[in-house]
Each structure stands twice: as structure tokens, then as C-alpha cells.
Structure 1
């Protein structure tokens, strides 16, 4: 498989706090890869650094063999990497359609924008039904769909998902994971961090376990799901394997 993203010996600091320490990982084109670990382990920092929202202290990030370390975040979007942040961050006071339009800020071709709208509305028919509704009035699950749809408007090659199921009702949690698989099936590579580690590992091709800013294990999603150490630390020993 072709490597799309490579993170080599990445370290990120918040002042004197070493949030990420020497992390190396890769994501191949067409994969779903998940990062799992306890709160505060550094997972969100890794995603935010890949997206250009945090500074690299040391190490190298490359995407399609292009160095990302000094590239502004908006240029990373133009190169195909889009972050869906934790907490959805939809824009209140703006309609669903206006929120989606903002996601296409880097796309200059109007025909591509129209095609992106068609694709998003096909994948998320509920958004089409609510296109003139204030985004703030959507349910949590609908807001998460909007946040993902907004990212897809940029025609990304890779989407970074930060806790996409957080705070959602159980019905929407399953829908979100179905959506993640559907995104991959439509040709978009996915790197996801998720509090629901068991569910994330079920759909992931590969996973990395992060502890205190360091990678302590990596394997296929299936292997990590049945690992006694992973179950004990992150999944609960009685996790149901489906």
C-alpha cells in the first residue's frame, strides 16, 4: 500500500509540558487508522499538529512526500488534509448550507463545489432536508454529520476525526461509525481518535496505542481489540468482540 501520511519522531510541547514525545506513525492510502489511549495521552495534540494548529518541537510530518512542518494550516487543507475538531464546532447563526459552503473555501472551481454539495447531500440526506436551518438548532448527531460534511466539502484525501462520537446518543454513535466506513469506501483515508476505543478498533485497519505522549503498541485493529493488555487498560476485560 502507498504511504499517504508519515509522522517521524514527532515531539510537541506546551511550554514545559512534553505533550507528545518521539511519536512515529504512518497511514496508508485507503486505510482507517485509529489512535487510542487515555484522556490527556496526547492523541488530540497529534491530530492538531498534523493539521497545522500546533507547532512541531522536533520531528517531521510528511504528506504525499511533502514536508508539512512549516506549511500553514490552510495550505494543508488545500493539499488534502482536513480536521473535524472535537466538539463539532459548527457555526451558529449560519444555515447548514452556509456552514457547508465555508468548508469549500479552498476549492476555486465552482463545478467542484456543486459536485461536493451533491456528494455531501447524498451521504447525509438529513442535511439536505435542513439546509436552510440554523446549524445551532440541529441535534448533536446532526451537528456531527454537518461537521464531517463540511470537511468533505474540501474534497480531502485524508480526514482527521477528533472524538466524533463524543456526547452523542447511542443511535447516532453507530451511525457515525457507519459514516466513517462509508467515507473510506468513497476513497478518503481516515485517521481517527475516539473515546469509544472498542468501536474504533472494530472498523480500523490498524491502530496505535498512545500513553503519556508516546506510542506503546501498534497492530491491526483486530489484534488490538483482542489484546489482553489493551482490553484491560482501555476497553474493559469484558468487552464484547463482534
Structure 2
């Protein structure tokens, strides 16, 4: 579904991503793990068209998208949940969700999408007329994920979805990610919480200093002594 080849990206004059290659197959959860500043978010922003690569290829369903506009990438079926959630304060939960559905042309299709979202996120249905800024951090994260799903993506990009959340919401977020996958959406997950990310991943890649250093299944990386020492609190 997604194939990134020999990607180089500069960020503020610094080479943030160096010769990165990886792939995401349809139906998978793939995790990119690494320390803060490893280049994870830069990769996601480049895939979604927010940043431009210095060189390299990004192929999505056999179409090169590295120079495509962000709006056309969303239209093609890729949605991103940004780090820090970035919900729209001063707007209700429902209005935030409507912003995620701006590509929908038919009202009946939009109604069906709302029904699906509210069945997946019942707390948002309860708070649909509430200012999104008044939600808890965990509820705001659910809103950010639901807003991205309003576009009916085939590939969902998640940037640090557990950051800053209480433990009860962290588990809920990872449960939701697995639910999203089970309903047919492919997921590329960027996380500092390596243990949680790898525990639900079909495959993972370890990123350090802008380069991929290691790859394997989620279970293989969880069992790897180097990964344990660097990211899982192992000896």
C-alpha cells in the first residue's frame, strides 16, 4: 500500500531524515519507534504532504505522492492524527468532526459516517454539542482520531497518540487503534511508547538519528536485547 524509498528530508537546515526506506502493507499496523528527535514526525509530515522531501520516493497504491498537495493526499485516502491533537477550540465536538469530513459531498454519506463514528466513540456522541476545548486530554485524543476517520481513510497516520495521557486513556487509545485495524483501515503508528506500540504492531522499524537501524515483527523487536536496552527499560 505505502512504500517509502531512499527518503531524505531537511528540517530547518538540518538533515532530519537520511535514506529511509520502509513499507506498509494493506491491513497492517506498522510502528516506527525511536527517541524524541529521531525523525519520526518528519516522516509522517512528509508522507501527508505537509513537508517536502529533499529526495526519495513515496508511493501510495502505485502512485508517487512525494510532490502531491496535502489535500489531494487526503482525497486519495490518507489521513493524519497530529502530535498534540490540535483540536479546534471554540468549536463543538460535532463541528470538529465536520472539519474532518470536508471532502464529503453527499449529506446522506456524512450522516452514515457520523453514525459509525459515534458508535465507535460514544463519549463524543454524549459531548457532541460541547466546546472541544473543555474535553479531557484523553477525550481530545479520541476526538482527533475520530476527526481523521471522518474522511474514511484507507491509511491512518498516527503521531504519538499516547503522549501526555493518563494510563487509563493510553490503553484505551491502543484498543481503539486495534479496532480501527480490525475494521479494515491500515495504520502507520509513530510512538515513543515502544512497548505498547510494538505489542500491537504486525511489523516495526527502529529509527535513530534520522535513519532506520532495525526492523522486524513487533514480537521480534520486543524480544531484541538492543531494543529492550534502548527503549523498553531493559538491562
TM-score, normalised by the number of residues in structure 2: 0.99
Which residue of 2 is the match for residue 159 of structure 1? 156
**Structure 2 counterpart of 1:107, from 104, 108, 112:** 104
CA distance in 2, matches of 1:133, 1:16: 42
**Structure 2 counterpart of 1:180, from 148, 163, 177:** 177
What runs of 5+ residues in structure 2 fail to find an aligned partner?
none
SS at match of 1:100: helix
Which residue of 1 is the match for residue 22 of structure 2? 25
Moved more, 15-24 or 208-217: 15-24
Which residue of 2 is the match for residue 95 of structure 1? 92
CA distance in 2, matches of 1:131, 1:15: 39
Residue 15 of structure 1 deviates from its aligned partner by 4.2
1:125 aligns to 2:122 (yes or no): yes
Residue 70 of structure 1 deviates from its aligned partner by 1.4
CA distance in 2, matches of 1:15, 1:125: 41
CA distance in 2, matches of 1:217, 1:227: 10
Which residue of 1 is the match for residue 39 of structure 2? 42
SS at match of 1:39: coil
In angstroms, what is the RMSD of aligned CA positions?
A: 0.8
For these two proteins, the number of residue pairs brought into alignment is 235
CA distance in 1, matches of 2:64, 2:135: 38
CA distance in 1, matches of 2:193, 2:67: 33
**Structure 2 counterpart of 1:212, from 209, 212, 218:** 209
CA distance in 2, matches of 1:108, 1:76: 17
Q: How does 1:135-146 map to 2 (within 5 A)?
A: 135-146=132-143
Which residue of 2 is the match for residue 75 of structure 1? 72
What runs of 5+ residues in structure 1 fail to find an aligned partner?
none
Displaced runs of 4+ in structure 1, greater than 6 A? none
CA distance in 1, matches of 2:5, 2:18: 11
TM-score, normalised by the number of residues in structure 1: 0.96
CA distance in 2, matches of 1:233, 1:15: 27
SS at match of 1:106: coil
Residue 114 of structure 1 deviates from its aligned partner by 1.1
